[in-house]
Structure 1
Amino acid sequence: MAISLFLFTSTPSLFINAMSIFNLLALITSGYMEMIGKNKQYAKFCDNDTGSNKPKAKEKLKLPSRIGMLVFYTPSFLVGLVSFAVFPHQDPRFVMVISILTIHFFKRILEVLFVHKFSGYMMLNVSITIGLSYGVSIATMIYAQYLSQESSEPAFDLKYVGLGMFLIGISGNFYHHYILSSLRNKADREYKIPKGGLFHFVICPHYMFEIVEFVGVSCICQTGFSFCFTLGTVFLLMGRSYATRKWYVSKFGGRFGKDVKALIPYLF
């Protein structure tokens, strides 16, 4: 099969195969829910109304947004760190996989602590669910890579192509996150229309570069699970970017450029 030229042969692990399908379907579903406006419990979409007339029990279910985002990313970062100890003395591809995943989530944590501006709160159950989902997915990706070492290498070795894409993606993602953070000072809680970088073409260039980053991850891994995870992530970020553009249009009306697309310049 042509796919065997680019991917390790599928592992006999029922767990890995089931998780591949589950992750793909779950991410596609999440992307669809984002697109139709049914999954607005993060960032600008979170209901931050914490009026005094609300029951105190509900207040306990919310975290400050910065803490909530740390809950998103910390489990996956710890999974990456622990993997270095659990799987010592592995081949260069395997070490590269663990390294890039750990770097990705370490970068996210640093951005939460030192780059992003936050206001309002995030639902506790949403933070925990997303954090556990990321952690389990990353652990599964690493385990799938470990099992793949029992198979012969794909005919086309894409790990260095993937590394280049990963570096481009993570750099572009950080650059546009920095632009977003520069829009508001500490006292400013109002959202503004982003300018600079690729924001003139799409409202979510940070998502576009995140897709490039995870395509790079798939090229480094070259496993069926990583491919399914990346494909699902593409659908998720398409839905999220569509919802983001819709939000900006509803909030800013004619001030939002009608030629600015959601994710892909001139197309989507």
Structure 2
Amino acid sequence: MTPNLGELSRFWKCPKVSTTSAAISIVLFALHIYRRLYENLFVSVFSSSHMNIMHYIVGHTHYWGAMMLLIAHFPAFSSSDSKTTFSPLEFCHIIGMFLYLYGFIVQHQSLRILAGLRSDRGKDAQKHKMPAGGMFEVVSCPHMMAEVLVYVGILFVLQKHTGWLAVTVWVICNQIQVALMNHKWYQETFKDYPRNRKAIFPGVL
């Protein structure tokens, strides 16, 4: 039996998402996934430490599940919705895409800065250095702040989508927790670490 993605939509009990909102959100999230893949393969320079297998599984499951959640709300994939007419852009779409684009750019720039800290070869590539430049001047983890902006931006595009709201809350909680841990490590490792830097949100946290 072929699974009906519309059933997943009804499982979350979400209000119907317009074709325009669904299409924009799918494209934006797909671009985010492809960019992250590109950065992992060609930009980031990783240390010799190994990732916990459970973190690896959770990460892959998260991206797969989030994309399936978006696809499930696309009218063309629901047996109960036959109309796929695109409606004009709304103000919330513009706001959402602006937040997404800002997060998209900041995350890429931040990851390039981090990669630059390990640009040396040999043992020097494993040495820890204090990041500087870009949004690192105001927060310790701008790439995590940017991740939050990407999800919040898509949430604005989707509007009343309880499933994506749950995903966004999960991402916010996760990124804040990791950012606070990294921020504490920076402060303990670098004695001259700027006191005005926050962990993830400028001037707030």
Bucket of the pairwise TM-score, normalised by the shorter protein: 0.7 to 0.9
Distance change (3 Å), C-alpha of 1:248 and 1:12: closer
Q: In the alignment, what sits opposite 2:3? A: none
What is the aligned counterpart of 1:256 among 164, 178, 193?
A: 193
Unaligned runs of 5+ in 1: 1-10, 21-89
1:131 to 53, 60, 84: 60
**TM-score between both structures, scaled by the size of structure 1:** 0.61
Residue number in structure 1 paired with 2:103? 169
Query: Which position in structure 2 is the counterpart of 1:160?
Result: 94
| 1:158–1:136 distance in 2 versus 1, CA, 3 Å | same
Matched, 1:195 2:139: no
SS at match of 2:126: coil
4+ runs deviating over 4 angstroms: none
Q: 1:99 aligns with which of 7, 27, 41?
A: 27
Question: What RMSD over aligned residues (CA atoms) do the two structures have, in Å?
Answer: 2.6
Does the 8 Å contact 1:144/1:225 carry over to 2?
Answer: no
Partner in structure 2 of residue 245 of structure 1: 183
* Alpha-carbon distance in 1 for matches of 2:166, 2:39: 27
Aligned to 2:37: 109
User: What pairs up with 1:24-173 in 2 under 5 angstroms?
Assistant: 91-120=19-48, 121-146=50-75, 158-173=92-107
Kindly indicate whether the alpha-carbon contact (under 8 Å) linking 2:9 and 2:69 is maintained by their aligned counterparts in 1: no
Query: What amino acid is the match of 2:189?
Result: K
Q: Could you tell me how far 1:250 is from its partner in structure 2? A: 2.1
> Which residue is equivalent to 2:148?
211
Partners of 1:91 and 1:241 lie apart in 2 by: 35
SS of corresponding position for 2:51: strand
Distance in 2 of aligned mates of 1:180 and 1:107:
16
Amino acid at match of 1:235: C
> In the superposition, relative to structure 1, how do residues 207 and 239 fare at CA in structure 2: closer, same or farther (>3 Å)?
same
Show CA shifts across 1:159-197 (max 9, x none). Answer: 222112211110111111111111122431112110001
* Structure 2 contact 9–72 (Cα < 8 Å) conserved: no
The match for 1:226 among 159, 164, 170 is 164
Change (3 A) 1:241 1:266: same
CA distance in 2, matches of 1:228, 1:158: 19
Structure 2 gap ranges (5+): 1-7, 82-86
Counterpart of 1:34 in structure 2 is none
Moved more, 116-125 or 215-224: 116-125
- Secondary structure of the 1:13 match is helix
Counterpart of 2:195 in 1: which secondary structure?
coil
The alpha-carbon deviation at position 158 of structure 1 amounts to 1.4
Distance 1:193 1:165 in 2: 27
Q: Matched residues in 2 for 1:209 and 1:124: separation?
A: 25
Query: What does the per-residue CA deviation read over 1:102-137, in whole Å, with 9 as the maximum and x for residues that have no partner?
Result: 100000000001110012222334312321233123
- Contact kept? 1:145, 1:221, Cα under 8 Å: no
